[in-house]
Amino acid sequence: MIQLKVPASHIPQTQLALYSRGDLGFWHRKVVERHLNHCEECAGAAVEFIQLQESLRRSSDRMPAALEGSAWQTLASEMSANIRLGLSAGECVSFAGKPSRVAFVSRPRLSLALAGLTVLAVLIAMEHPALHRAPVPVPVQAQAESPTLEASGDETMVTSGDRGLSVPAPAGSNVIRTVSAHGAVRSRYVDDTGVTIVNVYAE
């Protein structure tokens, strides 16, 4: 039977930051959640992180154009990646002494060094243009699951992996097609008996 390890000391701020973003793995999340259930101090800090995330999310709607859309997502991804990098670096250091990650709090110098490394990594990432602009690769699985909507010739189709749906227009008909950025393509044509309008929606 697997026993969840409950740290005797507090959860590091970096872990709480990842927890508030939903970026922790299953077991780490369980460990943190179990700790938060009986530690008011950490629970309060976690709530603050979550509120900060919400506040950032809301304010991102009013950010300058250069930081909107994918630019902001890229930056956010890089910052997350750098927090993870800092954690990994910390793990390397901690294995030399004590294997428990949550024990950093009981070793202030180590915690300070780790926090410094993390901040340094974030600053380097933000200042270094090549790293800052590096595209975040789209996971292969995510690509396969995002339906693609195509309308060309006399056919409209939506596909995703090995599944798909397509609607042909009758040969020789004058097809008028409109695409909605909401995720649908509408094709219409006239035959002897009236107007037919076909919609294909990407889910």
Establish if 130 lies at the interface with another protein (CB under 8 A): no
Q: How far apart are CA 45 and CA 39, in angstroms?
A: 10
Report the alpha-carbon distance of residue 158 to residue 149 in Å, rounded: 4
Residue 156 identity: T
Residue 57 binds another protein (CB under 8 A): no
In angstroms, what CA-CA distances link 9 with 1, 40, 48, 50?
24, 13, 19, 21
3-state SS class at 22: coil
Q: How far is the CB of 155 from another protein (least distance, A)?
A: 9
Q: Site residues for another protein, window 169-188 (CB under 8 A)? A: 170, 174, 176-183, 185, 188
Instruction: Determine if 141 is a binding residue for another protein (CB under 8 A).
Output: no
Beta-carbon contacts of residue 197 (< 8 Å; ≥ 6 apart): 186, 187, 188
CA distance 88 to 104: 13
Whose tokens are 């060309």? That residue is 152
Q: Does the footprint of another protein cover residue 133 (CB under 8 A)?
A: yes
Extract the tokens encoding 198.
């076909």
Which tokens sit at 160?
A: 């995703």
Q: Which stretch binds another protein (CB under 8 A): 24-32, 44-52, 92-100, 133-141?
A: 133-141
Q: By rule CB under 8 A, what count of residues binds another protein?
A: 57
Query: What's the min distance (Å) between Cβ of 193 and another protein?
Result: 6
Q: Which of residues 74-113 bind another protein (CB under 8 A)?
A: 74
The reply on whether position 59 binds another protein by CB under 8 A is: no
In the complex, what is the shortest distance from the CB of residue 26 to another protein, in angstroms, rounded to a whole number? Answer: 24
If one asks whether residue 51 binds another protein (CB under 8 A), the answer comes out as no
Can you give the binding site for another protein, defined by CB under 8 A? 65-66, 68-71, 74, 133, 135-138, 142-143, 146-153, 157-160, 162-168, 170, 174, 176-183, 185, 188, 190, 193-203
